Amino acid sequence: MKKLLLISTVFLGLTVAHKQTNAQDTWTQKANFGGSARWGACGFSIGNYGYIGTGKDASSDLSDFWQWNQSTDSWTQKASVTGARHEALVFAVGNKGYIFGGTNGSYLNDVWEYDPASNTWTAKASFPSTGRRSPASFTIGNKAYVGTGKDGSVPSESDWYEFDPALNTWTPKANFLGTGRSGAVGFAIGTKGYVRTGNDNSSNYSSSDFWEYDQSNNAWTQKASLPGSERRVAGGFAIGGVGFICTGWDGTSYFTDLWEYNQSTNSWTARANFQGAGRYTPVAFSIGGYGYIGTGATPSLTNDFWEYHSLYVGIEEEISQTTISIFPNPFSTQTTLQTDIFLHNATLTVDNCFGQTVAQIKNLNGQTIFFNRDNLSSGLYFVRLTQDNKVIAVDKLVIVDN
């Protein structure tokens, strides 16, 4: 077993780029989504692939499901989701994706797990509360957190649950402290989760408040509100140590502004406006240092798909098809890195949040790498795996105290 000797930096908010490159803070249109134009679709990413499915076209709920290959900018249809629906929720944990709820005329509470390796869907434990559409979620390590959403009550729900895929169990957590809402957006930075905006049943059915969930103490804290217009059903994603919110609707206006949230300073910065039409219910996710937004209603239904080149591309900018699974992550004592290919004289490099290389292990062979914490301080680290002088995978490590 090889041990990392790190010079640690406790810094969960990434404020500088790993490696500045050209054409940062810009949008580029990619190949249109492979399915029909729609609104209320859902999507997530696993490794270097993005996934989009379900939603509603002009007349019908949909169940088709598509994979996007970042390397080739191409779409491939995969096994359909069990049960057509729109405004469902999806999240990814490890190498699996999950879809929950949505509506097809009824509010759904079923949960299905997608395995990219076998291209199959498997039923999992149903959500333990009411079925609903447009809930929010985020993933921290090997757990997903899900709550809010519309189930017909006014205001919408504010309950919150933790899903453990390994045990296939749901556990109630502290209720979201904002007003119950639907159409909020969630993302995670390190060991903290965030929920913001959404339909809170106010006079314009939109909001700009922003809340942080601390996994370690199961508590919510209000943070700096979004400076832009109040909105609902926007898109959001996280890259490195920062989060983004983009697009959305307030019942009248369709927005194109992009806002970046810095965890360490609790502040927002305006970034380059989305270059597609303003819209609601887009799909949004990130792969490496890039964010992606597609589909939605402008109010016309769309199937366009856009890439945001962030300021934090750095270690993520050269990507291949290799996936690293890290479990557990965050970790306090030991974690395991598992690759989907056999390594031959590969090198694992660890960078801190300032882009400085703080550790490196060479001559790695096989598919499993073990890490002991030893005397490491808590913090966020970026890892990249190289082989034959090419970056073949990137990911993040989060070390926490018990």
Domain ranges of the chain: 26-312, 317-399
Rg (CA), the chain: 20
Residue 182 — φ and ψ, nearest 5°?
A: -125, 165
Q: Which amino acid is at 11?
A: F
Residues 330, 400 contacting (CB under 8 angstroms): yes
Topology (CATH level 3) of domain 26-312:
Neuraminidase (2.120.10)
Residues of the chain with pLDDT > 70: what percent?
A: 90
The structure's pTM equals: 0.75
- Banded model confidence at residue 47, pLDDT cuts 50, 70, 90: confident
Structural tokens at position 188 = 């995670």
Structural tokens at position 274 = 């989305």
Q: What ranges make up the beta strands (E) of 42-110?
A: 42-46, 49-53, 65-69, 74-78, 89-93, 96-100
The pLDDT of residue 41 is 98
| Alpha-carbon span 192 to 92, nearest angstrom | 16
CATH of range 317-399; options 3.20.20.70, 3.40.640.10, 2.60.40.3080, 3.40.50.1220: 2.60.40.3080
Distances (CA, A) of 252 to 57, 81, 268: 21, 32, 24
Structural tokens at position 213 = 């969930």
* Mean pLDDT of the chain, nearest integer: 87
The pLDDT of residue 23 is 67
Residues 336, 346 contacting (CB under 8 angstroms): no
Residues 350, 4 contacting (CB under 8 angstroms): yes
| pLDDT tens-digit map of 293-341 | 999 999 999 999 999 998 876 544 444 456 788 888 888 888 888 888 8
Residues 283, 43 contacting (CB under 8 angstroms): yes
Is the per-residue pLDDT at 4 higher than 70?
no
Buried b (16+ CB within 10 A) or exposed e, 262-301: bbeeeebeebbebebebbbbbbbbbbbbbbbbbbbbbeeb
